[in-house]
Every structure is written in C-alpha cells, then in structure tokens.
A and B are shown apart, each in its own frame.
Chain A
Amino acid sequence: MNGLRNPALRVAILIGSLALWEAAVRALRVPAFILPPPSQVGAALYRGAVSGIYLQHLWITLAETLLGFALGSAVAFLVGTALAVSRRTEYFLYPFIVMFQSMPKVALAPLVVIWFGLGLTSKVVSAALIAFFPLLVNTIVGLRSADEDRVDLMRSLAASELQIFRMLRLPSALPFIMAGLEVAMVFSLVGAIVAEFVGAEAGLGMLIQSRNFSMDVAGEFAILFILAVMGLLLNTALVSVRRRVLFWDPSQKSEANAASLKGGL
C-alpha cells in the first residue's frame, strides 16, 4: 500500500475535478456571473498576469499583510510577555483584553479606515489587530508552560528571573509562539483584505470588490486563486522557519494547534 504518497493520483484528482466543474457549468448552462467555468478563470488569470495588474496590486496587499503581521506579532509578543511574567499587569490589563477579544475584530475595519485613511496605514492596522490575538494567547500560554522541574533546576542554580526567562521560559514557549505566528500570518491577510473592502485605493481586496461591481466573476475567482496561493506561500515560509527553530521539538503539536486554530476564521 503506497497509496498515501501518490503525486500522480493527486494531480489526476485535481485535473478531474476541474474538468468536472467545466463540464457541469457548460452542461447546466450556469451563467458566468454566477459560476464561471475554470477555463474562463484561467483566461482571466492570464490576461491580468500579462497586463501586470495583479502583480501591482499583489505587492500592495502583500506589504499590508507583512507589515500588519510584523506589527501585530511584535505588540502581541510584548504584551503577552508582560501579562505572563507579571500578575499585576495581568490583573489590570486582562479585563480589557477579554473584552477586546470577544469583539469580532473585522467589525472594527470601517472605524480603522476612518481613522487611518484609505492608504496603506489603515490596512496595516487592521491586519495587526486581527493578527494580535492568536499570538497574544499563545505567548501567554507558552511562557507559562515551562516544566516545573526545569524551573526548580534553574532556581537551584541560583538563576535570576531574567536568566530563567531567557534560558528556559522563552525557548519553552517557542512551539506555542511559532504556532501563534502561523495563525497570525493567515489572519493578517484576512485583516488586510477586509480593510481593503471597506475602502482602499489599491490591493487585491479592492480589485475583488471593483470586479464584483462589474460582475466580472471569473476575474474575482482569478484573484481568489492568487490570494490562496499567496496565503499558502506565506504559511510555507513560516513552517520552514519553524522546522529550523524547533528542530528539538519532536512533538509536532504546534502543527496540529495551528491547523485547528486556523479553521476559526
């Protein structure tokens, strides 16, 4: 039984489903503004790629996503660390955080656009807001996950709290932090696109919306495809970083965590 690893079969299934989709749309005469056949999506993809329009907007959305990811993750890591190491900080900040967490962050996007304008900043802020929570929670849990025996060992050596943090708590938190980063990356893309929907001058999200107005559904599908590939590549990049950083973590729990969390949005 080597059926589990069969690249040829994988490709065949993909082509088969595309062919089925094409045939079904043609046979049932589904109008292209409801569901375009893959051939039209492919044509739209090709036209846009040749004209350079996708690339131009893709860079913008990518920049928004990465900057938002960096901002949201950095703040989440710092706040998470403060909450994890200081009960006092936790006591004063946690109620606000719980309140903020229970609010759907995408609902803030219109406000963010009013505050930060139609340009890049509002998209970065929106992406950062959505990316913030998964990493915040994972940082807190991770920093508190250090094995008690290891903490005792460090204490028995008369290690300072800072040394315990640097040599033990931080490395112990890394599997959680990496899992949080993977979710944060996917969420950043969501945040950037949502803010583009609300109001933007450029970006793939804006392009989707303008095509929606002109009923260019095949064009929308082409952009969805690009976004999917972009999300996949961003995630792959993080996974390869994680493999390198967490070479010592034999449990691939972080992978399972990330996967289950990502289903949330």
Chain B
Amino acid sequence: MARAADVISVKGLRKEYGTPRGTVLALDRIDFTVGEGEFVAIVGPSGCGKSTLLKILAGLLPATGGEVRLRSVSITGPRRDIGVVFQSPVLFPWRTVLDNVLLPVDVQRLGREDNRSRALDLLALVGLHGFEHRYPWELSGGMQQRVAITRGLIHNPAMLLMDEPFGALDALTREGLNLELQRIWLERRETVVFITHSIAEAVFLADRVLIMTPRPGHIAEEVPVAIPRPRPLDVMAAPEFGGIVRRIRAHFSAKGGIEA
C-alpha cells in the first residue's frame, strides 16, 4: 500500500545476528510504510526486535536483507535528517538544557545563532520555558525526556524515531507526556515512528498501530486508529478505544494469538 507521500518504506526487511551458537533471526519479512505527517506506533513485547528495527531505521545497524528507504533514498548509515528519542533521555550532563537541545545543530554545523531562537521556541512548546540554562540533573525524569524530544526536533528531521520514550517514567508522568506529545504533534505534524510495549499508549497516540510479534520479529497486523484528535485521556474508556486495544491484545495473549 505504497502512497506517493511515503516518508519511510520498508520492504522485506530481515536482520540476523551472529552469536556463538549460530545465527539468530531477529527480524523477518518486515513490510510497512509511513506517510508524510503520519504517526505510526509499533507495539510488541520485550525482545520482539522493536529496538533492532528502530536501530536499522536510524541507520545505526545494517539490515541483513530487504530495504529501508527514507524519502525514497536507501538508509545505509546514519543520516542527518533523522531525529531519535531513546528510552532514557541520553542528555549530556555537562551541557545546559539549551546546549543539549542544540547538540544536533553543533554536530551538523547548522549555525548556533540561527537555531537558538528556534530552540527556545521549541522548549517553550514542550513547557520548559525558563529552564534553558539549567543542567539536566536539575530536572525531573519527565522534564529530561521533554528536552530529549526537543533535541530530536531541532534539526527539522524528516522523521522522528521514538524508542519507548516514556517507558522509564511513572504512570502519571507518562500520561501527561502522552497528552503533551499529542499536542506537539498536532502543532507540528511530524512524521513519527513510535515504539512502545504499551498497547494503550500506542492506540492513544497513533494513526496506525503495527503489531509486532517475536521470534522472529514480524509485523503481524496493521490496525488503523480512526479516533478523532485531540484525544482526551478519558478516550481510553471509550468502547471504540477498548475494541482496538482488545484486537491488538489478541495477538499477545497466551494462545489466542498468531505467534509462530
């Protein structure tokens, strides 16, 4: 189902790891596309190869077979137009919040002065106005992750990859940040690939949820989420939300799924 405006297209992606006990197939026959401005969530249990997939999308790992294209150019290594947000904020403690946000600008020599005001605007957008000159260790975990999101956006990437960005936060902070992310996304309409092991989080945020099953990692089903935005938190109690969650969960429940 390739569309004209596909930002990412993944075809027949395969990843094998060599281990002392032979090769392990981590990802097999992965096919999907992500359209311009689309928010796609990939949901799966731990060890299903989600993070491997993300590292391949980010150009940090080579694929064994198949191809990954970003704006129809094959991804063979790290690129300047990808923003990544990891599970931990991965901030540099010797840099202030503003300098952390400007890290991609420094690395890619985009001009500090030109991007400074953009960085301040983005920080205000994520609710960190006034914290520019603080250091990461002076901030709470949720605030640190907002800094990481801002850093992921500063260089105007073609896509934002998010690898369980809220997985290490407590449930309340996590809900708050889900709302926040939705608000930011509605304002900027980035193309986002969001990896998570929380079904509810995936359904709440995404236009489309890709269900990933383990051993080997494979996309079992694509589930569209046709719930209008902005979605309030209590949408999670709505019947249509519950229906989608149940449909996804069926893949992972003990014997009810299509594993193997």
- Provide the residues of chain B in CB contact with A158, threshold 8 Å: 77-80, 107-108
- If A157-B103, A163-B107 touch, does A152 touch B93 (CB 8 Å cutoff)? no
Q: Are A157 and B90 in contact (CB under 8 A)?
A: no
The number of chain B residues with a CB under 8 A from chain A is 24
Q: Are A152 and B137 in contact (CB under 8 A)?
A: no
Q: Are A156 and B137 in contact (CB under 8 A)?
A: no
Q: Are B94 and A153 in contact (CB under 8 A)?
A: no
Minimum CB–CB distance for A131 against chain B, Å: 26
Task: State the CA gap A149–B104 with chains docked (Å).
Answer: 15
Minimum CB–CB distance for B37 against chain A, Å: 21
Q: Which of A129-156 contact B (CB under 8 A)?
A: 147, 149-150, 152-156
Judge whether B204 is part of the interface by a CB distance below 8 angstroms.
no
- Provide the residues of chain B in CB contact with A150, threshold 8 Å: 90, 92
Q: Are B86 and A171 in contact (CB under 8 A)?
A: no
Task: State the CA gap A155–B84 with chains docked (Å).
Answer: 10
Q: Which of B57-110 contact A (CB under 8 A)?
A: 58-60, 77-80, 82, 84, 86, 88, 90, 92-94, 103-104, 106-108
Task: State the CA gap A211–B130 with chains docked (Å).
Answer: 65
> Which residue in chain A gives the minimum CB-CB distance to B109?
A163
Give the A-B contact count at a CB cut-off of 8 A.
55
Judge whether B135 is part of the interface by a CB distance below 8 angstroms.
yes
Partner of B84, one of A147, A156, A163, A248: A156
- Provide the residues of chain B in CB contact with A171, threshold 8 Å: 92, 94
Partner of B88, one of A149, A155, A163: A149
Minimum CB–CB distance for B191 against chain A, Å: 16
Minimum CB–CB distance for B229 against chain A, Å: 28
Judge whether A159 is part of the interface by a CB distance below 8 angstroms.
yes
- If A163-B107, A167-B103 touch, does A156 touch B59 (CB 8 Å cutoff)? yes
- Provide the residues of chain A in CB contact with B78, threshold 8 Å: 155-159
Partner of B90, one of A153, A159, A249: A153
Q: Are A155 and B60 in contact (CB under 8 A)?
A: yes
Chain B interface (Cβ < 8 Å from any Cβ of A): 55, 58-60, 77-80, 82, 84, 86, 88, 90, 92-94, 103-104, 106-108, 135, 137, 155
